[in-house]
A and B are shown apart, each in its own frame.
Chain A
Amino acid sequence: MSSDAHSALERELGERYPDGLSTLTDEELTDFADRLRDTKQHQSQALEGAIEKALGIVPRIARGTVRRALFG
């Protein structure tokens, strides 16, 4: 296993992965790291979009308070 594939997954997880995964090939480790990275990116994008949408639902009178709670 190359250190690139190994560290890509650990970077996405933020910690060392379980020892049992050491049987995976570089391609498999990279595939899983890519999926995890994509999941996080999609979630962040979805959250951004959802917050914009939510502010559109909140009545104008409360929008300022909610916006401050969300963005400081």
Chain B
Amino acid sequence: MKYITSVEGKQFLVEIIDEKHVSVDGKVYEVDFESVSGQPVYSLIVDGRSHESYIYQGEENWQVLLRGRLYPVTVEDEREKRLRAAAGGGVAETGEFHLRAPMPGLVVAVHVTEGQQIKKGQVILILESMKMQNELKAPRDGTIGRIRVKAGETVEQRQTLLSVV
């Protein structure tokens, strides 16, 4: 199976040959890959060099935490790559976006009203958790749609707070 894998703007053509071999841009490596006790911590031995890493699935990519550094990595197989190229490569800059609570907490303040125009990076809501007040910011320009919470409400993790259209 062939994949196109991008890390920080660099593209690699990674082929999984079999359980013990992968090739990167044509160069074949001997690999030994294990999940450490079923956790998102993985051990990888490449040609005798031992690496250990946390690998989390993000919303659009894989987050590889390796020796104190986080690498956002996108992995696409050839079919996915072709499909995306056909769709014009458009990321969700349009359409409805739901702002969800990144953690459970208490809504301290909602800084916007329904129908308000917002800019990317603008603070739209303050969520208190673990004694800290956290600013939730707009991920892109848009208009505030429905607001589903109000100040003083407690929210669960991933609960939808409001929508941006």
A joins B in a complex:
no
Instruction: Name A's B-contacting residues (CB within 8 A).
Output: none
